[in-house]
């Protein structure tokens, strides 16, 4: 019989597994080459985030976190992809390679360095907690945030940049639910709503850019600067 009391080691092992997969998905965002794969990885990452919320909610017997898990599960892996398909279908399903500023091996190396950095960063904060899930989840969440930011900076296309932003929020919340599980529910609700608006507004903007300029390679838009144009 499996022991499912909240203190059992199997529980923290499960949490570590989810954390590891979450980190892996953040790395996945750095290396994939298609917009559709980017979206798929984001969906997987969001499901992992909600599983993490369920695990923490079960451990603390907190309905609040369970609600966060349900909310995440409804909005991020389901509603957002639906919304993006409605607004920018063509951008996602065109089969082509996403150009990026750096090649994949150097990107991986930088991603690794960022992950190491987030472990050191998190360590300096973790002095005040006892052995809880935060020890695993905080550094992974920060790494998710940084890797999302990195993706955002090296990708030149609109959709991968949008997913980079959503991944940053995923990272922040992955860390957040482990360190401050009792954030007011209204804040969580508003944040979930906020993510939807991000997807909607950036989707509309991407479509407008496509309609008016004929490309979504936002990295190629470089007219605004101080130096005179050649």
> Which residues contribute to the site for another protein (CB under 8 A)?
124-125, 127-128, 141-142, 145, 148-149, 152, 158, 161, 165, 168-169, 171-173, 175-176, 179-180, 182-184, 186-187, 190-191, 194, 197-198, 201-202, 204-205, 208-209, 212-213, 218, 221-224, 226, 228
Q: How far is the CB of 9 from another protein (least distance, A)?
A: 25
Bridge partners, residue 155, by sequence: 100
Cβ closer to another protein: 1 or 118?
A: 118
Cβ closer to another protein: 2 or 187?
A: 187
Cβ closer to another protein: 17 or 152?
A: 152
Q: How far is the CB of 151 from another protein (least distance, A)?
A: 11
Cβ closer to another protein: 61 or 197?
A: 197
Angle at 173 between CA 21 and CA 123, to 5 degrees: 75
Cβ closer to another protein: 112 or 194?
A: 194
Four-residue CA torsion sign, 49, 55, 58, 59: negative
Q: Are 19 and 52 in contact (CB under 8 A)?
A: yes
Q: How far is the CB of 159 from another protein (least distance, A)?
A: 12
Bridge partners, residue 100, by sequence: 155
Long-range contacts of the stretch 30-33 (C-beta < 8 A, 24+): 30/104, 30/107, 30/108, 30/111, 30/147, 30/150, 30/151, 31/104, 31/107, 31/108, 33/97, 33/98
């Amino acid at each position: 019989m499996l022991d499912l009391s909240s203190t059992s080691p199997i529980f923290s092992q499960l949490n570590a597994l989810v954390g590891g997969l979450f980190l892996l998905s953040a790395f996945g965002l750095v290396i994939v080459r298609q917009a559709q794969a980017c979206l798929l990885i984001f969906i997987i990452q969001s499901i992992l985030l909600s599983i993490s919320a369920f695990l923490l909610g079960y451990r603390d017997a907190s309905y609040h976190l369970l609600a966060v898990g349900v909310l995440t599960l409804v909005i991020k892996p389901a509603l957002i992809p639906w919304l993006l398909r409605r607004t920018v279908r063509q951008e996602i399903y065109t089969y082509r390679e996403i150009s990026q500023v750096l090649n994949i091996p150097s990107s991986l190396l930088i991603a690794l360095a960022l992950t190491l950095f987030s472990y050191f960063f998190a360590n300096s904060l973790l002095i005040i907690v006892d052995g809880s899930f935060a020890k695993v989840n905080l550094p992974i969440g920060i790494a998710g945030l940084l890797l999302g930011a990195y993706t955002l900076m090296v990708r030149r296309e609109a959709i991968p940049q949008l997913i980079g932003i959503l991944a940053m929020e995923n990272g922040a919340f992955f860390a957040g639910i482990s360190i401050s599980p009792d954030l007011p529910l209204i804040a969580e609700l508003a944040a979930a709503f906020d993510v939807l608006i991000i997807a909607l507004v950036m989707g509309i903007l991407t479509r407008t850019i496509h309609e008016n300029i004929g490309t979504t390679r936002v990295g190629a838009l470089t007219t605004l600067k101080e130096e005179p144009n050649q």
